Structure 1
Amino acid sequence: MASAGDSEQVVRRFVLAALAEVRGALRDEASGTPRTLTGSLTRAELEGESLELCLQLLSRRNAPFHWMATLTRIATAEVLASDLTPCLLPPLTPDATDEPVQYDAGKVGQVVLKKLQEVCIHWQRKTPVFHQTRRSFQISIHAIKNTRRKMEDRHVIFQDLNALFGLEDEEEQAYFAVFDGHGGVDAATYAATHLHVLMTREEAFGTKPCEALGRAFRQADQGFVLKAKRESLRCGSTGVVTLMRGKTLHVAWLGDSQVTLVRCGNAVELMMPHKPDREDEKKRIEALGGCVIWFGAWRVNGTLSVSRAIGDAEHKPYISGEADCASFSLDGSEDYLLLACDGFYDTVHADEAVRIVGEHLRENDGDPNMVAHRLVASARDAGSSDNITVLVIFLRDTQQVMQDMLQKEKQEQEEKLAMEGSTATVEHDQESSRKVAPNELPTNGLKSDLDNSAKCATHQPAEEETAVENEMFSEGNECEAQVKNAKPDDTFSPTPAESDNHGLSKEMGCVLQNVEPAVDASISVGSINNPSEQCESVLASSGLQVEPSSRSSALSEQQATQKQCNSTINEVSGQAC
């Protein structure tokens, strides 16, 4: 990167290369092969178009961005200060008072090239000193037409916004954007050319950048709608923009293009895309008199599958030009930003994208150069047929990102193994706690219920546990006898236990099946776990009274109570064990 200490010879080589590029463009113009602008321009569009033309030419030389930005800014300032009267177009409507002044874009383009050439010649004589920016980014970008007839996506990468606009006293700022056109490329091109200019020229940009972004989207939409009416254009574009200023990230979006922030290997949701089937978007459209219907996808008035966009003049106001904006603090743990159009996000989830990026870095020793290609290929292989644009901006060194990712994977693997070991120990303890002698098992199907319920049982001392088990199975045999001797009108169904001291499932009650007709009767699990409470339940239902035993009674007291309960049960017909 160039800095105050860079070799003058290196800068001079850049200037000579830029000059050669400009002279080649001028020769093409003279030979009738235009490489500049076409159509017409308003006064408000001159700055954006001039900047864009210069950057397109200079970017072919692969020079540091702030070199190109400085040269572009100086040349554009010369264009705006020059007399452009020879470039004026006659009014489309004679005597029109509200028609904006328009310029021939081709003639303006020639003026831009000549001014750029003049600046390069001046730099040849006196080589400028460039000040290195403190922050640089590793960036991977890839875009494909895919199966569509035309490529209608556009993207913008400005690593040093201050150099482009001469904002010397501002915090370092970087600007990245993806625009996804539909019905033609004109709207996406317009947004990529003018939105950053409109943003920086907003009065609120210095103190309220998020507000300035929202207004810039609105003005870009209005400007293109007027252009579309003048030139009979029928197209639109969604867009997502990120502005990084110091330790703050500002995001603005319109439509279904999206951005994902990845922090510590995890995707962070920054926004909710505008789609017709989003409830608030649907209500907004219907309140304006429009409708959202399904026609292969959810569409506004049966046509467009986006609910907000720049352009689409014939679909206003249902297709809104109002962007949403949000700001986020950065703490240095952020790995990268991922901006992409719906051609990517419709088939690849953000979490899957994080996995793909991590896999690529691991396989390529942290080299990020082809990561966007990998992501685009993943979307295409997943079934995307749309244009696909993916822009990845790494906010930390990719080697460090990869090392942190490997450390995280190692930690997660260790935690997984520890959890599996803990689970195996618990299962072994549970298996041991429910082992019983084969000759003690009931034969009426109650065994499976007991086995299932024992999984939830609280561990007891061995002697007490054995005593309770013997008591449980003796009651099971008694229950089995009742089932065998049941009358056709008897029905038994389990009810939740009043006491569940041993954590047994409520399904442990005796159930008499396939007996009709059914009448209401109940059995409580508490009869197995806590005989005294079962006795209380049965006596209460029969109108008899008995002193309730304490929950903390010894096992011998519970057995005595059970005998009283069993005696009472024999006197009450239709009750369960």
Structure 2
Amino acid sequence: MTWLDIDSQQGHQRGSTNKNGRSPQWRCPYAFFWPIETSNFSMVFTHKDSILSCRGAPSPLNAAMCHAALAKLLKADLSPFHLPQEAEQQQGEEQEVVLLLSEPVQRLFLNKLREVGVAWHQNLPSPLPVGPSRFLMCSADAIRNTRRKMEDRHVSLPDFNTLTGLKDGVERGYYAVFDGHGGVDAAIYAATHLHVTLSQQEELQSDPATAFKTAFTRTDDMFRGKAKRERLRSGSTGVAVLLQGEWLHVAWLGDSQSMLVRRGQDVTLMDPHKPEREDEKQRVEDLGGCIVFKGCWRVNGTYAVSRAIGDFDQKPYVSGDADCSSTRLLGDEDYILLACDGFFDVVRPEEVPALVLGALREQGESQGAGCEEVSEGVLGERVAQELVAHAKAAGSSDNITVMVVFLCPPAQLLLQDQSNTAVATEGPAQE
């Protein structure tokens, strides 16, 4: 069981990359942090390129082990890892604030993770963690493109309850895309904290829309403290999806978007916040601000987004208040797509179904077999990559991130497409 072979003294060093040429995702992105942020450490280790996933741990077990290790970490004495007061003062703190050093806390978390692995290797917990009962498969891809820096982040948590410790009997899956600007700090912070903050909301089951909005506001407030402490000026738009029972909840700030495809037809889930949107323009003007065109429409002539986490030098004109929509799932949905504006600026929502089907056909043909003979993971895994490539070819120069969350097997979509094509070819029956 290679996923139990965890050595807390080994791992990637800063600056190294994985086999895909990307930075490893199992290091804490901060040099220091507030104690209240400790509960988000588990997020670093549940990414698809994390230390457990790279060792073949199934996703539900990955999430369960990280949650168990986090519980041990939160019971430990972390006072030896406090940032020295002199260092805190150098960071510009106006009052005494306790901060924790990330590196030693991360090492302690890895030790706790190893303890859990050893204990579970000897005696597996009962019942074993299981994955979601509904079909969920996520294809994701992200590129820097022609930009100097990659400021997007994305999150895929099909085992949301297991990771966060929720035990209310309601299945949940969480997916999100964050599009940073002025630096990557706000996007990293939102990707690390929003889902945990959401899981802590009392209204999550009874009023998920309110819970989602509160989670965005709370995350923005928490990032304000970090931004002030470290003199950060970045911001991030974001769109997050929560699959909860039979419902699909979407919350968003700014122009990152999500859409649903049902029976091959695009379904609108949201209206992205843009400065030129009439109600957003009116909101900014009512606050005493203005919308100015400088290459694109901008709030007070600065930011090209009207809502975001961060961007505190332009609050409240750039709002941190999220919107949320809820859609009942009927069981005939194909997939959900989440993407940043680097994708949607050059691809219209109505183009997406044909692009996804085209990518599936190409992958099926490349396997040299019928679609029913190709494994689901292989068939759908490169769909997001194909969509990203299409957006780049269509002229996008921005960072591009795309996530496709399949709600039914990709092979089923191909079979349905083949059936529809056959019917169209045969034409109407002759009398």
For normalisation by structure 1, the TM-score amounts to 0.65
Deviates more, 1:361-370 or 1:381-390: 361-370
Gaps of 5+ in 2: 15-25, 365-370, 372-378
1:269-297: per-residue Cα shift (whole Å, max 9, x none)? 00000000000001111111111111111
Within 1, Cα distance between the matches of 2:210 and 2:353? 30
Aligned-pair distance for 1:68? Answer: 0.5
Aligned to 2:183: 184
Which residue does 1:351 correspond to in 2? 350
1:320 corresponds to 2:319:
yes
CA distance in 2, matches of 1:54, 1:326: 27
- Corresponding position of 2:22: none
Find the counterpart in structure 2 of residue 126 from structure 1: 123
Aligned partner letter, 2:10: G
**Shift in Å, 1:99:** 5.2
Distance change (3 Å), C-alpha of 1:78 and 1:383: same
Q: Secondary structure at the match of 2:298?
A: strand
Mapped to 1, the partners of 2:424 and 2:113 lie a distance apart of 56
**1:286 corresponds to 2:272:** no
Judge conservation of contact 1:75–1:112 (CA < 8 Å) in 2.
Answer: yes
1:373: which partner in 2?
Answer: 385
Q: How does 1:12-51 map to 2 (within 5 A)?
A: 12-16=1-5, 19-20=6-7, 22-25=8-11, 35-51=27-43
Displacement of 1:301 in angstroms is: 1.1
Q: Which residue of 2 is the match for residue 402 of structure 1?
A: 414
Q: Give the TM-score normalised by structure 2.
A: 0.87
| 1:366-515 equivalent positions in 2, closer than 5 A | 366=371, 367-411=379-423
Q: Which moved more, 1:105-114 or 1:404-413?
A: 404-413
1:124, 1:145 → 2: CA distance?
40
Which residue matches 1:88?
Answer: 82
Q: Does 1:112 align with 2:109?
A: yes
Q: How far apart are 1:118 and its partner, in Å? A: 1.8
**Residue 509 of structure 1: aligned partner:** none
Tell me the CA shift for residue 75 of structure 1: 0.5
1:483-519 CA-partner distances (Å, limit 9, x unpaired): xxxxxxxxxxxxxxxxxxxxxxxxxxxxxxxxxxxxx
| Number of equivalent positions | 398
Contact 2:209–2:249 (Cα < 8 Å) also in 1: yes
Point out the structure with max Rg over C-alpha: 1
User: Structure 1 residue 411: deviation in Å?
Assistant: 5.0
Quote the Cα distance in structure 1 between the aligned partners of 2:275 and 2:425.
41
Measure how far apart 1:98 and its partner are: 6.2
Residues 64 and 129 of structure 2 are in contact (CA less than 8 Å); yes or no, is this contact kept in structure 1?
Answer: no
Distance 1:341 1:402 in 2: 26
Letter in 2 for 1:14: W
Aligned mates of 1:53, 1:403 — CA distance in 2: 37
The structure with the greater share of residues assigned to helix is 1
Instruction: Give the superposition deviation at 1:313.
Output: 1.4
- The one-letter amino acid of 2:102's match is A
Contact 1:154 1:178 in 2 (8 A): yes
Measured in 2, the distance between the counterparts of 1:38 and 1:300 equals: 30
What is the alpha-carbon distance in structure 2 between the residues aligned to residue 291 and residue 69 of structure 1? Answer: 46
What are the Cα deviations for residues 470-489 of structure 1, in whole angstroms up to 9, with x where unaligned? xxxxxxxxxxxxxxxxxxxx
Shift of 1:44: 1.9
In structure 2, relative to structure 1, the CA distance for the partners of 1:27 and 1:409 (3 Å cut) is: closer
Equivalent residues of 2:141, 2:388 under 8 A apart: yes
Indicate the residue corresponding to 2:218 in structure 1: 219
In the other structure, the counterpart of 2:72 is: 78
Q: Distance in 2 between matches of 1:301 and 1:257?
A: 21
Give the secondary structure class of the aligned counterpart of 1:286: helix
Q: Is the 8 A contact 2:143 2:150 kept in 1?
A: yes
Structure 1: how far apart are the matches of 2:391 and 2:13? 42
Checking the alignment, whether the CA contact within 8 Å between 1:42 and 1:103 is kept in structure 2 is yes
Equivalents in 1 of 2:123, 2:168: separation in Å? Answer: 25
Write the distance in 1 (CA, Å) between the matches of 2:121 and 2:330: 43
Query: Identity of paired residues, percent?
Result: 47
Q: How far did 1:407 drift?
A: 3.3
Identify the match of residue 51 of structure 2 among 48, 53, 57: 57
Q: Distance in 2 between matches of 1:383 and 1:47?
A: 41
Which digits, 9 at most, give the CA deviation of each residue in 1:193-239, with x for residues without a partner? 00000000111112212211110000111111110110011101111
1:40 Cα deviation after fit: 2.1
For residues 268 and 243 of structure 2, the distance between their equivalents in structure 1, rounded to whole angstroms, comes to 17
**Partner SS, residue 237 of structure 2:** strand
